[in-house]
Amino acid sequence: MSMAKQYDRTELLNRAVELFRRQGFGGTRTAELVAELGVNRKSMYAEFGSKQGLFEAALEHYGRVNLSRVLAPLEAPDAGPDAIRSTFADYASASEGRFRGLGCLMCNTAVERAALDPGSGRYVAAYLERLTRAFRHSLGNGQRAGEIDASADLDEMSAFLMTALIGVAACVRAEAPPEQVKAASRMVSNMLDTHRPEASG
C-alpha cells in the first residue's frame, strides 16, 4: 500500500520557480532545493526525477501560470497597441519594484541555459514563439482597427518587440538604472506612434 504524498506539487513548483529565478539553475545546489521545497531528497527525486527534471517542470509551470498572467493582455481577443504599451510599461515598473534583480525566469534561462541543454532550450524557444505570436496578434488587431498603418510589416515589428521585451527583462534582472529601462519602454511607444496611419500619411 503506497503512502499518500505529504506535499502539494503545485506548491513545490512555486517554491522552485522563485529559487531558480533568484539563483539560476547553475547557482542552485540540490541541498538548497531540498531546504526550499521542504521535502526530503528522496521525495524530490521521486516526484521530479532529477534537478534537471525539477527545473524543466518549474519552467513549464512558470510558462503556464506566471507568463499566462503577464501575457494575458497581449493574448486577449481584443488586444491592440495599447496592450503592447502597457506590457512594456509594466516591465519597466518592475525595474524598481520587488522584481528588480529577479527578472523573468524564462528570460534568465534564455541567457543562462538555452544554448547549453536542449531541455531548457525547448521551453525558451516555445516562449519566444509565444511572445512573438502575442505581439503579432495585438498588432494585427490594431491594423484592422486602423491604429496601425496598413503598409506596416507586422512580422518585423513583432520580432523587434519580442527582442526588445527580452532586453528589458534582462535589464530588470541586471538591476539596470530604472530610468534606462523606462526609456526603452517609451521608445517602444514612440515606435508604435510612428506606425499610426496619420503619422505615416
User: CA 152 to CA 122: how far, in whole Å?
Assistant: 31
Count Cα neighbours of 171 within 13 Å in the Cβ-side half-sphere.
23
User: CA 198 to CA 81: how far, in whole Å?
Assistant: 15
Q: Please classify residue 95 by burial: count the beta carbons closer than 10 Å to its beta carbon, then call 0-12 exposed, 13-18 middle and 19+ buried.
A: buried
User: CA 62 to CA 46: how far, in whole Å?
Assistant: 21
pLDDT score recorded for residue 201? 52
Q: Which residue do the cell numbers 506535499 mark? A: 7
pLDDT score recorded for residue 200? 54
DSSP 183: H
Q: Please classify residue 80 by burial: count the beta carbons closer than 10 Å to its beta carbon, then call 0-12 exposed, 13-18 middle and 19+ buried.
A: buried
pLDDT score recorded for residue 73? 96
Domain ranges within the chain, ordered by starting residue: 66-200
pLDDT score recorded for residue 1? 38
Model pTM above 0.85: yes
pLDDT score recorded for residue 5? 67
The 3-state DSSP class for residue 76 equals coil
DSSP 2: P
Digit-coded pLDDT (tens) for 47-64: 999 999 999 999 999 999
CATH of 66-200, one of 1.20.1250.20, 1.10.357.10, 1.10.287.3510, 1.10.540.10: 1.10.357.10
Residue 14's nearest CA partner among 65, 90, 67 is: 65
End-to-end, the C-alpha distance of the chain in Å comes to 74
Task: Write out residues in the chain with pLDDT < 50, as ranges.
Answer: 1-3
